[in-house]
Structure 1
Amino acid sequence: MNAATETIALTEAEKKQQYNFNKLTKWLRHGVGDAINDFNMIEEGDKVMVCLSGGKDSYTMLDILMGLQRSAPINFSIVAVNLDQKQPGFPEHVLPEYLKALGVEYHIIEEDTYSIVKRVVPEGKTTCGLCSRLRRGILYRVADELGATKIALGHHREDILETLFLNMFYGGKMKSMPPKLVSDDGKHVVIRPLAYCREKDIVRYAEARQFPIIPCNLCGSQPNLQREVVGQMIKDWDKRFPGRIESMFRAMQNVVPSHLADTRLYDFKNAKADGIAREDGDKAFDRDQFSEPGRINILASKPDGDAQDSGCGDF
């Protein structure tokens, strides 16, 4: 192969790479846009506090939101916030340099939660629970100080499914992380714009954009964390049964209270035969139609039939 042929081949490879990246970008923007529209996450005049940890998810969330901000039919502002927890060896210069170059308003909040966690949690025990609670309290306080109307977290589709299974397996609850919620004190609205986005797409996007990833070393080596076990289970299912993850996430959007067992969500006690046909009636004698996992389309359909990319993050 001569030099001219090599140049042409390289150009074709670059074109293909750019095409694939553009397609991935549109895919993620579509997923984030759908989540924002479906849950009314961002409204006219909102100030969105984007929580950055330095991980792939929060970088991607900020990048996609900034792109949507330029083309959205509404006006909203973005402020990036990073919580420096004073972990030993934390590269304090990375995020300020990146955000300054990006031209986005940002704040680095310095709070020594690392020392608190290490002092309170016994050696060998999981630090995630306390660390998460401390972070949440600080972020709520900062949102008040900055006048932020929405707090954006980088949790993606697999994070949401992991939380569902963790609550089912270990907590006895049918509960997960919703794409949008109001804090316990009623003062803050938390949104998860990546709720429909797949982790593997975020990984590819972060690699292509070459984000300066900062690993979280606070937890150290905790290989038996329940979330890690559940996460591995989901990854295994995704490899062996393509489409299963999409089907599971779609199930979270198609809840039928009358066919579960929570008396707080459905009035089973007063259910009586009154001769009136109903949509939530007994289907026990109907033959359910199930798709084979491998035959489920990779796009999870909404209840209204539209297709969407179903896709958590570092905070």
Structure 2
Amino acid sequence: MNAALRKLEHEHNRLAKRLRHQVGRAIADFGMIEEGDRVMVCLSGGKDSYTMLDILLQLQKKAPVNFSITAVNLDQKQPGFPEHVLPQYLESIGVEYKILEQDTYSVVKRVVPEGKTMCSLCSRLRRGALYTYAEEQGFSKIALGHHRDDLVATFFLNLFFHAKISSMPPKLLSDDGKHVVIRPLTYVKEDDIATYAEQRAFPIIPCTLCGSQENLQRKQVKRMIDQWDRETPGRIDTIARALGDVRPSQLADPKLFDFLALGRHSAAPLPDVHGWLGSGAEVEADGRPAPIALQLA
């Protein structure tokens, strides 16, 4: 083996080692996998879920606990979807798998007006089908392929478009309390995933539904984040770390911090907004003062 090939192999091994370390650390930090877990790895055919499955299979061989892995794909019946690709790949690596079939594509195309964002409905339908199968089969964990950049982008999407500070948690309990969802790629950069997927030559299947929409809010945010990373390398790492270091007393949410009790020197009831603004003050339904209309000369 010549020097160039040795160097290339060394780089490949170093990247694989870094990904294993980051995924292993996320699993440990958030208690994602425990003894006896049956993990349903959601495989879309994209670079993220391929990488997640590949790294989990590597970690499984030397894991401190015993757990099983089943790859599950939802065939949404998009036109031109290459149905043979995933079964061939999964059989070639010897992993247990299941292909679900549900025509969510027709539902989304029928319900969502042309030019409108399809992701929300598509995601709900896909999630419903996967959750239903997980419950039927008794899987204890559902693994999704969201990575560090997805968590940061979701934070800014919620900040800019929904006026709330939230993101994708590395581990969550579904709204109905039946499913534990984990995101093993929480600490992994998207660029590293792209490089790893190329090195491993995963048979990528592009999304022809939402992937073809260029004006999505998420794509706008991604362009902003990419520009930040080019101009100030390391900024996205800093933001990602900040998601794990939240200071409720330094924000303004009275549900998270008892501002009313802070510095109180009397047990007397505090006046409400009506007392401060007068009984005729207009307030919103939640008790906050109504916006003040300014008249400019």
**Smaller-chain TM-score range?**
0.7 to 0.9
- Distance across 1 between alignment mates of 2:210 and 2:30: 33
The Cα offsets for residues 161-213 of structure 1, whole Å up to 9 and x where unpaired, read as 00000000000000100000000000000000000000000000000000000
1:245 to 2:236 alignment: yes
Secondary structure, counterpart of 1:181 in structure 2: strand
2:51 pairs with one of 60, 69, 87: 60
The Cα offsets for residues 192-245 of structure 1, whole Å up to 9 and x where unpaired, read as 000000000000000000000000001263211100000111111111101111
Amino acid corresponding to residue 85 of structure 1 in structure 2 = Q
1:260 to 2:251 alignment: yes
- Distance across 2 between alignment mates of 1:148 and 1:43: 13
Amino acid corresponding to residue 257 of structure 1 in structure 2 = P
In the alignment, which residue of structure 2 is the partner of 1:11?
Answer: 2
Q: How does 1:119-134 map to 2 (within 5 A)?
A: 119-134=110-125
Larger Rg: 2
Amino acid corresponding to residue 191 of structure 2 in structure 1 = K
1:168 to 2:168 alignment: no
The Cα offsets for residues 53-104 of structure 1, whole Å up to 9 and x where unpaired, read as 0000000000000000001011000000000000000000000000011101
In the alignment, which residue of structure 1 is the partner of 2:216?
Answer: 225
Secondary structure, counterpart of 2:121 in structure 1: helix
Q: How far off is 1:11 after superposition?
A: 1.4
Q: How does 1:83-232 map to 2 (within 5 A)?
A: 83-219=74-210, 221-232=212-223
> Kindly tell me: are residues 51 and 240 of structure 1, through their superposed partners in 2, closer, same or farther at Cα, counting changes over 3 Å?
same
- Distance across 2 between alignment mates of 1:241 and 1:115: 43
Give 5+ residue unaligned stretches, structure 1.
1-9, 275-315
In the alignment, which residue of structure 1 is the partner of 2:63?
Answer: 72
Secondary structure, counterpart of 1:159 in structure 2: helix
Give 5+ residue unaligned stretches, structure 2.
266-297
Bigger relative contact order (CA 8 A; separation at least 6): 1
- Structure 1, 118-127 or 36-45: larger mean CA deviation: 118-127
Amino acid corresponding to residue 122 of structure 2 in structure 1 = C
Runs of 4+ in 1 over 4 A off after TM superposition: none
Amino acid corresponding to residue 214 of structure 2 in structure 1 = P
- Distance across 2 between alignment mates of 1:73 and 1:252: 28
The Cα offsets for residues 121-160 of structure 1, whole Å up to 9 and x where unpaired, read as 1111111000000001111001012211000000000000
In the alignment, which residue of structure 2 is the partner of 1:48?
Answer: 39
Amino acid corresponding to residue 90 of structure 1 in structure 2 = F
Q: How far off is 1:272 after superposition?
A: 1.1
- Distance across 2 between alignment mates of 1:219 and 1:166: 17
Q: How far off is 1:273 after superposition?
A: 6.4
CA RMSD after TM alignment: 1.0
- Distance across 2 between alignment mates of 1:158 and 1:140: 24
Secondary structure, counterpart of 1:178 in structure 2: coil
Secondary structure, counterpart of 2:2 in structure 1: helix
% identity of equivalent residues: 66
